[in-house]
Amino acid sequence: MAVENNFINGIQERGYIKIGLPPYNTPPAYYIDPKTKELSGYDVDFARKLASELEVDVKFYRNSKDFNDLVRRVGAKEFDLAMGKLGTTYERLFNAFPVQYMKLRHAILANRQSLEKNDLRSGLPDFGDRLKNSSIRIGRMGGSIWDTEVRRVFPNAKIIKFKDWGEVKEALFEGRVDAIYRDATEIKAIVYQDPNLAIQYVPILFEDELTMTSIFMSESGKFGFSDFLKFFIDREWGEIKNDSAIFEEFQDYYNSLSKFQP
């Protein structure tokens, strides 16, 4: 008698895989293309290719409240998988099971004058430790891993929560915070958009702080689908990608952000 995989069989009998995505636009990972009005990005392409290997269609669900809610919902079996640059934290492991497919460095974009006022000069040999133990004001996005990670990395900082990434960036440029915190792909993208920002703001990447970025699933998904997913990542994705690989593969996208294209 053949042993069946009930999780995969259920997807195939339904005829489509249910993928939960965050309710944001985060190019080049996942976003509504302004030209085509279609959902696009490398996470979207990943999901569609995965569906093709299962010989089913894919349906995307983008109605979660935030990143944390998305992970909770997949753990409650509302989707088959949840993805979209989802970092792994202890809190999320209470709700769902991860399979890693990226690792991204942590980064901040800081106001140069604010750093100098706090006696934080990048030339100092202990700059990294001094920065992490400083009391600067850092903006972060609510409902994300940065809620917990920024407090872990910057235990003495004044942490200010904002609704979304747009509000976080606005707070920095309006002087309401000294720095903003997220992964390297998001921080460097801001500088790509306007290289002149480098006059007033400095991006700082932390080589010793990495986010384990994962695809999440329920307990039944862990036992029924994690091996298939890991094989797919190895065969189709090629490796657990870091932010340098993302920049290299999507260099055309990042270059297109610049306001100063020839």
**pLDDT tens digits for 182-194?**
999 999 899 888 8
Could you tell me the pLDDT band of residue 135, with boundaries at 50, 70 and 90? very high
Architecture per CATH, 6-103+212-256 = 3-Layer(aba) Sandwich (3.40)
Question: Greater confidence, 227 or 252?
Answer: 227
Integer Cα distance of 70 and 235 in angstroms? 27
Is pLDDT above 80 for 203?
A: yes
Domain 104-210, CATH 3.40.190.10 — does that match? yes
Is pLDDT above 60 for 129?
A: yes
Structure tokens at 204: 């700082």
Per residue in 16-57, pLDDT (tens digit) is: 999 999 999 999 999 999 889 999 999 999 999 999 999 999
Structure tokens at 144: 């994300």
Gyration radius (Cα) of the chain, Å: 20
Spans of all domains in the chain: 6-103+212-256, 104-210
What is the rounded average pLDDT of the residues 132-141? 95
Q: What global pTM score does this model have?
A: 0.90
What is the rounded average pLDDT of the residues 134-146? 93
Could you give the residue ranges of the DSSP H alpha helices within the chain?
A: 6-14, 42-54, 67-75, 90-93, 112-117, 127-132, 146-153, 165-173, 184-193, 219-232, 243-249, 251-256
Q: Collect all residues with Cβ–Cβ distance below 8 Å to 252 and sequence separation of at least 6.
A: none
Per residue in 76-116, pLDDT (tens digit) is: 999 999 999 999 999 999 999 999 999 999 999 999 999 99
| pLDDT confidence of residue 164 | 92
- The region that residue 143 occupies, defined by phi over 0 for left and psi between -120 and 50 for alpha, beta otherwise, is left
